[in-house]
Structure 1
């Protein structure tokens, strides 16, 4: 080959496009795959962060509310994280083998730290910190130019506090006739009861001459029917739950009801009054929960009467109003320089007075009583228990805010509501601090 021919061949660019394309094709495909994977990785990170936040919040909340230990809190985080995140993987169609690998990886790469810090008196702060890493697999296109997976690391920190502040509380409770009605909850101790009923049966009768003829007669029979818990008994159970939460807040590190009650006697004063269409005898505020608990326990098992909460609210307000120095003096003697004031108003009906019809005048009096208490900076919680709309509207207006209003349509919800009130009054709070 001549020098001229060789020179021409070297200068020829005709095959460069094909060669360049062949060289760059895997890179081009890989870049396209990366764009898809970047979206997937960010979504997986967001999903993992959401589950992690929920896990640490659940653990911090249980530490302050249920007195679980630091090790138990770690188990709560791990179990929640695995349960929720692996469930999401299953829903996305991931194989069980891949889920098993992800579970092992999360267990290996997850660290949890739970701590309890005394913040003065009976107040406690609870912190739960978690860090975890999960490898998100990449698609085959991306693997042409890079790794098989990308590790995603997230952290979550949740804190809760139980301040155990001093407080004075007044329970204003409905004990009208409708509180004798059934709830939808079957009594777990005695699930059935025997009731009598009348039934018409075929029989033989005789006329004045002694001649027989067919007739029907009424006979009394018995049958077993569901034994539902009545409303007043549900209320007693709910109040017990609230008293327990207040005791826990007073002595979070103490086991045993008796010891917690002794601690509560230094921080908590509770009074109670009940009402029908008439205001009933009250239990004046007393240290601890014992006196109020007995008052609630002694409410009649078969309540009677109409509904008028205005007088009972006036009784509670008179004891808690800021111009009455009794509560302040009592707390000062126990070494409590300040204290919070609460009222809990509960009804299962609407304001009827001694009748079966709603009474606007009584309804207005209750609204005014609630407004006066709120003006005096008394915090009001309200609970509408299987109540009609007018009762719900009234209690929404009476509550200090919407978070302090509860609608309970069964016994379980009522118990939960009163427990939540106890925790809120004791200022137990849980939040993310990421």
Structure 2
């Protein structure tokens, strides 16, 4: 009896007994962790493939993007769905193959956005969990991506070609004009008599005879280069339409002049732009030199530019006024914001004439061609220099926020116009 009691009270073998009892669930738990870790690793791989498929199917140069640009209504895009499936399968590698995965792809257009959804599901074979009758672990997931397609846009390019744009394009050009003119004038005034006879002694001809590049020349060339940029950047032949306008051909009837109405043939726009030249005047001092009316030009542009849409298709284009100028107005008879000399009013642009366009949803992209100081010119020193610092501020206020660029001729007007254009058309990045 005492021996049996000792047996019952003996605890020396408990660890071995407990270990024997727990070994199966411990091994099962470890095995389950290994199987689940393996399944999660494969799920991560499939998610990567789904992400790549969703993003790739609606990339900027994808078949889906091209199809969306040609669509006139919202809806699914079969080419994008096939492309997504192909990309997903191409990402598959390792122990699990595309044949073992169920894939569902959805690509569609909604307004000017492409949406892609790639869903997957699969069963991952287990190893340790088969001891408990669990032969597979199901895994699944969904990747989504959105891409804003390039918008359809109409560009109305308003170029200042008034006499102040006849200034030398660079400091070197200004210096040449000052050397070649008796009164050291940097402006190449284009004098043509009322009979249409060219004044051979006009400063415009002096500039031409001495190889001087004028600011209006640089703006014309930059506009032509801009049409080439637009042609390269478009994703559909009719995505961008461009029109070109100036303040007028001659001062006697200075009114908005259409060089080209907005058309999708950008090569033709470039050809038409050859006609952009400096506004002529019949004689020095004509109309007290008041030929720059921003108020009139912007008011007329407001009548020409139609309602701005969301850019989703050709019937709802975004309307963009692309305005290039040195920012000094010279035309008002009343309500002048600066000191007048007699009846002449010279002032920075009056931004109240920009507001009606912006209120209608028209974006205004402003390229301010810096009004170069002319320290040897007494008129500049008296009337322009006092408000020189206000000119860029007013031009920026005229622009739609974020669409303002200032450039001096030596910095490259063509590059600045291109940069501003790309800023207007740049679309958001993909999100996944």
TM-score, length of structure 1 as denominator length: 0.46
Larger strand proportion of the pair: 1
How high is the TM-score relative to the length of structure 2? Answer: 0.46
- Structure with larger RCO (C-alpha < 8 A, sep 6+): 1
